[in-house]
Amino acid sequence: MKKIYTIFNFLIVLCIVFTSCNQQKSEKDTESQTPIKEHTELAVIWQQNAAEYRALSYQAFNVATQKVKNLKRTKLSKPLAIITDLDETVIDNSPYSAMQIKQDLDFDKDDWIEWGKLKQAKGLPGAVRFFNLADSLGIEVFYISNRYQDQLTETIENLKLLNLPNADSAHVFLKTTTSEKQARRNKVLEDYQVVLYMGDNLSDFSSVFDNQNSKSRNESVDKMSTEFGDQFIVFPNPMYGDWESKGLYENKRDWSDKEKDSLRNLKLTSYK
């Protein structure tokens, strides 16, 4: 009887261990099955296919065109300049984002540099026309981007292929030690009067927006509302940006894919 009891207890323990292992495996499987970039699919499709996206791009450049044409040039102490971001402001990198979806990959520096070396990024609708107009009016264009410094050569070559003005190392400032852009903007401001800032990310315009959560970013936009469409020209980018990394994900880089999925769901505002 004692032997039967011992065997029975052993079977119970074995069952518990087996159940626990299965549960851990199930949790791990659920984590691995959380798609990394599937949630961006509609955003990328919209950018690549929606006529509304093209219309918004033209609209932004039309506003910028009116701004530079109406500039009063009397009593200027410095030459005029425009500071613009590159990615999703001058050039379109949606093919890289599409690759991430198809391959189910998160951002990877090597993949990003590989895409840049192809020099296949196209100009946004209206971009080449606008920046050449600015150049013809004597306004210099400075490209301040958080592409890696290692990408400088191919970035300049890509701009040249698109026939964009000021495509040289004196006008293209990429990221070196920090993603924050104020120091690079200040470098331009030393010798130029900047008449327009252009970008898809609020940190392209002011350090006020650097490393801020969604609440703070929205409050700052409300306070600076009159600047948009005047000195600041914003381009739509639902694929990626500080609105996601610093806003939605609260500037934390160690969320798991499952946690990111939960955060996205949590930030939805529903009526029921």
Cα of first residue to Cα of last residue in the chain, in angstroms, is 60
CA dist., res. 91 & res. 163, Å (int): 12
Tell me the backbone φ, ψ of residue 250, rounded to 5 degrees.
Answer: 60, 35
Residue 241 has pLDDT above 60, yes or no: yes
Label residue 134 exposed, middle or buried (CB < 10 Å: 0-12, 13-18, 19+). buried
Give yes or no for residue 114 having a pLDDT over 90.
Answer: yes
C-beta of residue 233 within 8 angstroms of C-beta of residue 64: yes
Domains in the chain, CATH or no CATH each: 35-266 (3.40.50.1000)
Per-residue pLDDT of 29-86, as tens digits, reads 445 577 899 999 999 999 999 999 999 999 999 999 999 999 977 667 899 999 999 9
Pairing of strands 122-123, 91-92: antiparallel
This model's pTM is above 0.85: yes
Q: Where are the alpha helices (DSSP H) in the chain?
A: 2-32, 41-49, 51-69, 94-103, 109-118, 127-136, 152-161, 182-189, 214-223, 242, 257-266
Would you call 125 helix, strand, or coil by DSSP? coil
Share of the chain above pLDDT 70, in %: 88
Q: Give dist(CA 232, CA 249) in Å, integer.
A: 25
Residue 225 DSSP SS3? helix
